[in-house]
Amino acid sequence: MIDAVLGFALVGLAGAAGLFLLGPLLRAGPLRKPDERAVLEAGHQALLRALHDLDLDWAVGKLSEDDYHSQRSHLLAEASAVLRRLGRASHEAEP
């Protein structure tokens, strides 16, 4: 009796797993493209983190004033460029 119940349960589970596995094949559609905004946002956050780290490095005396401002300008320029691309991507995504 227990074996039979177990057998039915397994067959049921196998059926459910089969439907779960094969289901997506019935829904044709193109492969998703990377979410450009998410990628750019991640890149922007990485640059902000680098700026934050640079600030801390300077605050604790690891950098000269000249190096601090030069590195900061460089990172800011990169962050601004990413932000502009992010703005464009958001604009294009709007209906």
Partner 1 sequence: MGEIGRFALQAGTAVALYGLTATLLGLWRREGGMAQAGQRAVVVWTLLMALASVSLLVGLLTRDFSIRFVATASESTQSIFYTITAFWGGHDGALLLWALVLGIYMTLGVRSLRDHPDLQGPATATLLAVAIFFSVLLATASNPFHPLLPPPPDGQGLNPLLRNPWMVAHPPALYLGYVGMSVPFAIAVGALISGRLDESWIELSRRWVLVAWAFLTLGILLGAKWAYVVLGWGGYWAWDPVENAALMPWLTATAFIHSIQIQARRRMLAAWNASLILLTFGLTIFGTFLVRSGILSSVHAFAQAPTIGYMFLGLMALLLIGSFGLLVWRWESLRSHGGVESVVSRETAFLANNLLFVAAAVVVFLGTIFPALTEVFRGVKVNVGPPYYNMVMVPVGIGILALMGLGPMMPWRRATAEQLAHNFLMPAALAVLGALLLGVLGVRKAGPLMVFALSLFVVGTVALEAARGVSVRVGRGEGMALAAVRLVLRNRRRYGGYLVHLGVLLVFAGVAASSVFSTQSQAVLRPGQRFEVGRYILEYGGLRGSAIPGVEITEAAVRVWTGSRWLGILSPQRYFYASQEQSMHRVAIRSSPREDLYVILSDWTEDGAATIRVLVNPLVSWMWAGGVVIVLGTLLAALPERRLRPARTTRPLRRSAGGGLGEEGRSP
Does position 20 bind partner 1 by CB under 8 A?
yes
Distance of CA 59 to the CA centre of its chain: 31
DSSP state of 27: S
DSSP state of 10: H
Would you call 82 exposed, middle or buried from its count of C-beta atoms within 10 A (0-12, 13-18, 19+)?
Answer: buried
Site for partner 1 in 26-85 (CB under 8 A): 26-35, 38-39, 42-46, 48-53, 55-65, 67-69, 71-72, 76, 79, 83
Binding site for partner 1 (CB under 8 A): 6, 10, 14, 17, 20-35, 38-39, 42-46, 48-53, 55-65, 67-69, 71-72, 76, 79, 83
